[in-house]
């Protein structure tokens, strides 16, 4: 009952021996959505504070059971909504679900769990960059709800520009991002390049629009496209750029 999990960790890119010191059985039961069995194990001595149950609940494929388990763990077992799963794991590298229960819900593409955690007070800013950066799964459906819950749309937009994530940039603009700062950053870099004062190591901004100094023609084209998006949004007074359709987050 108090056995921990030290199985091989895989995230699609690495194959490293990693240790998970959380209570495996409680994690599994939380992921199954079985509240009665979870409470039975706790009554027999399993300590939910030594588990990643709140993180694991979002693995449940039944959205009603997942949200019920999340609310139960918060209300009855007083689990911490901002707990970091890395406190109970010793991974050589950050896994895709590293962070808070909200990060886990986003990673497992469980939008009802995301909405439940946000409604219960989870910090939305902690998961924004994850939705934009992660490439092995489509995590963007969570970005809109995160921004609706109060995450900084301006930081989201600037990060999307930096990462050349066009869909994330469009969602951020739709949610009220102001493109002026990103446009100033682009213009500042263009001015440095024009005067040959640009230092690639010091000044690199991945999403600044690019120019002829880029070695990769495809990357330069993507940067130019992003620069046009930012400029169009700025000319349009913020919001969606002219000629672009609105992007609605999907609920699968």
pLDDT tens digits, the chain, 252 residues: what are they? 666 555 444 444 444 556 778 889 999 999 999 999 999 999 999 999 999 999 999 999 999 999 999 999 999 999 999 999 988 877 756 688 899 999 999 999 999 999 999 999 999 999 999 999 988 889 999 999 999 999 999 999 999 988 889 999 999 999 999 988 877 777 777 777 778 776 665 655 444 444 444 556 777 777 778 878 887 887 765 554 433 333 444 444
d(CA 150, CA 123): 8
Within the chain, all domains assigned CATH 1.25.40.20 are found at 4-123
- CATH topology for 4-123 is 1.25.40
- Nearest by Cα to 116 from 62, 67, 61, 55: 67
């Amino acid at each position: 009952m108090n056995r921990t999990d030290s199985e091989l960790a895989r995230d699609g890119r690495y194959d490293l021996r990693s240790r998970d010191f959380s209570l495996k059985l409680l994690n599994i039961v939380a992921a199954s959505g079985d509240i009665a069995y979870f409470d039975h194990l706790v009554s027999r001595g399993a300590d939910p504070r030594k588990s990643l149950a709140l993180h694991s609940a979002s693995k449940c494929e039944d959205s009603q059971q997942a949200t019920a388990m999340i609310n139960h763990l918060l209300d009855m077992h007083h689990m911490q909504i901002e707990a970091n799963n890395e406190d109970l794991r010793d991974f050589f590298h950050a896994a895709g679900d590293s962070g808070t229960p909200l990060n886990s819900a986003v990673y497992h593409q469980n939008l009802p769990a995301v909405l439940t955690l946000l409604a219960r007070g989870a910090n939305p800013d902690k998961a924004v960059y994850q939705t934009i950066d992660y490439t092995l799964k489509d995590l963007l459906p969570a970005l809109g709800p995160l921004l609706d819950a109060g995450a900084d749309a301006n930081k989201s937009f600037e990060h999307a520009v930096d990462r050349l994530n066009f869909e994330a940039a469009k969602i951020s603009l739709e949610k009220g991002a102001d493109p002026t700062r990103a446009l100033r950053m682009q213009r500042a870099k263009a001015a440095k390049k024009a005067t040959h004062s640009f230092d690639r190591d010091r000044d690199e901004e991945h999403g600044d629009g690019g120019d002829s100094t880029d070695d990769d023609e495809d990357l330069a084209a993507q940067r130019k496209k992003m620069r046009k998006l930012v400029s169009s949004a700025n000319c349009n007074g913020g919001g969606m750029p002219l000629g672009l359709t609105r992007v609605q987050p999907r609920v699968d």
